[in-house]
Structure formats: structure tokens, C-alpha cells
Structure 1
Amino acid sequence: MATQLSYHMIHQIFSRFHALEATPKGELDHVNAYTLLVAVALSAQATDVGVNRATRALFAQVQTPQQMLDLGEEGLIAHIRTIGLFRNKAKNVIRLSRILVDDYAGEVPSSRAALQSLPGVGRKTANVVLQMWFGLPAHAVDTHVFRVGNRTGIAPGKDVEVVERALEDHIPAPFQQHAHHWLILHGRYICTARNPKCGICPIRDLCPFEEKTA
């Protein structure tokens, strides 16, 4: 685990990320806040590509919590069988849809606490929705963000909560909103778990990772 980088170095790193892609986007397909919430909940232990493949026909038919309830659990399962843990995820999606209809007039709340109270919605899922839909500077720490945070020294920590706090504390304010996506995309395509592509890394000269590859 690298030591915490200085403010100046972190500013340089995110300046480069911004120069390469000023407004990075998430890769989960969705049409509104509700379909985003469902997609993120389905993406646990699954790939975005796999989730998008499963939800393409689903979201053409279902775009609101009430429409999901009308579809029903078995109808949902028919769409998402290719996603890991699909039965448990289907139960949670139906349960959270019922709560949204009954308690939130069918709308997705913009509160982290309210989101986390929904079945199958943890802090990471809540943070993704807050960042992607509501534009809040929330940091969802998945395996990619955790790895990049530690390798680079942007946000070192032994667990996701420590890394999340470090991201909140050390990333300069102008970069907070898009930091999550810059880090996740960097971890997904450049700073991979195995055989990181250090040779084409835009921040290689700023990164303290000791096992840099050619």
C-alpha cells in the first residue's frame, strides 16, 4: 500500500484525467433514476456488460417501480437469469419497488440513508446512484477504485470505508463529482488487477506503484 500522495500530486493526476475525458460516464445502461438503481443493484458480483445485456429488454418494458411490481418476481427472473444471484436480486428488486411505491410515491430518494434502507442497496450502490443521477460527490469504492486508490496513493486504506474517507478528504473539490468514474475506468482498462498497462498509463510518472510493468 502506497503512502498518501500530496495535494499537489493528486491535483496533477486528476487534471490529467480531466484533460483526457472531462465528463466520464458510467457504463450501466439506464433511462431514469429507478432503472439506474435497479441496474446497480443487479451489478453486484456481475459485469456491467452482463447486466446491460440482461436489462436491455427489461428496461424497454419496465421503467417505474409500479411497472416492476406489475411484471412480478417471476417475470423479472425471466429477464435476469444470466446474472449471478438472480433469484435473491429479483426478490430485493421487487421488495425495494414496493417500498418506493408505498413510501416514496414511486420516486428514488436522494438521501444516502434512505437509499441504504432499501433491500439489496448497500453504501456502494447508494453512492453510485447519488453520484450518477443526483450529481453528488459520492464515492462508490468497488474493487477497481480500491485497487487504484491504494496503488497510486490517492486514497490508501486497508478497507473500503478508509479508502472512501480518503477520497472525500484528499481529492480537490473541482474533481470530486467525477472522481469515482475516472478511478473506476482507470482501474477497469489501465490499472488492471493483473498485468496493469503501465506503459500507456497517463499518470505513470506520478504513480508510486512499485511493480510497474513495461
Structure 2
Amino acid sequence: MTRSPSRLPAGAKARAPLALAALEALYPDARTELNFRNPFELLVATVLSAQATDVSVNAATPALFERYADAYAMGRATPEDVEPLIRSIGLYRGKARNLVALAALLVERHGGEVPNDFDAVVALPGAGRKTANVVLSNAYGYPAIAVDTHVGRLSRRLGLSLQNNPDKVEADLQRLFPRERWVFLHHALILHGRRVCHARNPRCSACELREFCPRIGVEP
């Protein structure tokens, strides 16, 4: 049985092009703020970024990638080998276990390469739908919207979605925005969430989207 799409907020279809135009003007070069040189490094950095800041991840990964440059090297390590290199990142013990396990699976199933396949990435330890969207969109140009806390919060505040479930927010945004702008959209929303539309004390008076924001000045 096909599930019917969720109800969009009133006025969402009219606000969507306004939001996109404003974000394009504000963040024309929006991209991930994680540092990486190849798909493997992006996958590792994205797994590390769960419940952690990109700044903390970027501070830890140079030493990590110097020691473990690819899936073959990391897959031969133990979690105890990896832990000291990522200790500054939240939940580092569990992430160390996942990194070693996912690297071993990349070697076993994919010749050490990150597959350009959504289901294959989701199946890796420590990965999920958001991780797959981030990795495939940034590494391979896959059209995707990765919904993190910023994207979810802004989608609700801007009246683009009524949903709290990230998968449902993603589906709403996909209905409202052109497929070719999905990757840009999630990067721009993340930047706006970090710089202006904070979870606490959003800077509404400085927001370029305030003229059509239905929740301006309203606490979350």
C-alpha cells in the first residue's frame, strides 16, 4: 500500500521559492564544512560528526588520516588504536568501533572503496540515511537532502514542514524544491542555522528570511 505524503504547512509552496532565492543570495557557495580529500575521508568525517561539531571533527581528522589513510589501513586497526586519535570528539568509543568495522566491510564488500550506492552506505556500521545523503551528495553528486538538527529546525520555523521525523522532513523538502538544488539547499540551511537561526535566541532581526518567516521571534 502506498503511503500518502504528509500534509505541508499552509503557504509552504509559496514560501519555498522565496527561501531558496534568499539562501542562494546569502550562501552562493554553500558546501559541507567537513574537510576531506576523497570519499573515504568524507565517510569517516561524517560518521564522526554525529552529535559533534564539524570544528571538532576537522581538528581530529588530520592525525587520524595520517595514521589510517584508507579503508585497508583502518580495517586492520583495533578500536583501541583509533580511540586516542578521536578522543576529543563526543561518543568517541562507539565511533572508533564503527570506524574499524565499516573500514573492514568496505574492504570485504567493496574493494576498499566507498560505494556510490545509497543502500550499501546505509548498511555500514555507524552510517544511516543522513550519512548516506551527505557522502553520496558531496562525493558523487547524488541529489539528496541530508536532514540534521539545523535543517529540521529551519524547515519547521520557515513553515516548510510540520514534521519532527527527519525522513519526513526530507520528503517534504523534496516535494517543495527542485531536485537539482537539493544538495545546495541542505548546506545553505545548515549554514543559516549555525550563523543566524540558532536553536536558542535566533537572530530574527538580522535574518534575511524574516519577511516570509511565519515564526519570526517565536521561541522554539
Same fold (TM over 0.5): yes
Residue 168 of structure 1 corresponds to 174
Residue among 97, 100, 111 paired with 2:103:
97
Contact 1:155 1:170 (8 Å CA) reproduced: no
- Cα distance in structure 2, aligned partners of 1:155 and 1:5: 10
- Amino acid across the alignment from 2:187: H
- Amino acid across the alignment from 2:169: V
- Cα distance in structure 1, aligned partners of 2:37 and 2:196: 28
- Cα distance in structure 1, aligned partners of 2:107 and 2:164: 39
Residue 129 of structure 2 corresponds to 123
Deviation at 1:174, TM superposition (A): 4.3
TM-score (norm 2): 0.89
Structure 1 segments unaligned to the other structure (5+ residues): none
Residue identity (%)? 42
Task: Give the stretch that moved more between structures: 115-124 or 11-20.
Answer: 11-20
Contact 1:28 1:52 (8 Å CA) reproduced: yes
- Cα distance in structure 2, aligned partners of 1:84 and 1:15: 36
* SS of the residue 1:12 aligns to: helix
Structure 2 segments unaligned to the other structure (5+ residues): 1-7
TM-score (norm 1): 0.92
Correspondence list, 1:130-169, <5 A: 130-169=136-175
Deviations 1:23-69 (A, max 9, x none): 31111111110011001101111111111111121123333101213
Deviation at 1:102, TM superposition (A): 1.2
Task: Give the stretch that moved more between structures: 5-14 or 44-53.
Answer: 5-14
Task: Give the stretch that moved more between structures: 128-137 or 189-198.
Answer: 128-137
* RMSD (Å), alpha carbons: 1.8
Residue 75 of structure 1 corresponds to 81
Contact 2:75 2:107 (8 Å CA) reproduced: no
- CA spacing shift, 1:24–1:14, aligned 2, 3 Å: same
* Structure 1 position 87 matched with structure 2 position 93: yes
- Amino acid across the alignment from 1:113: D
Residue 31 of structure 2 corresponds to 25
- Amino acid across the alignment from 1:124: K
Contact 1:80 1:86 (8 Å CA) reproduced: yes
- Aligned pair count reads 212
- Cα distance in structure 1, aligned partners of 2:130 and 2:10: 23
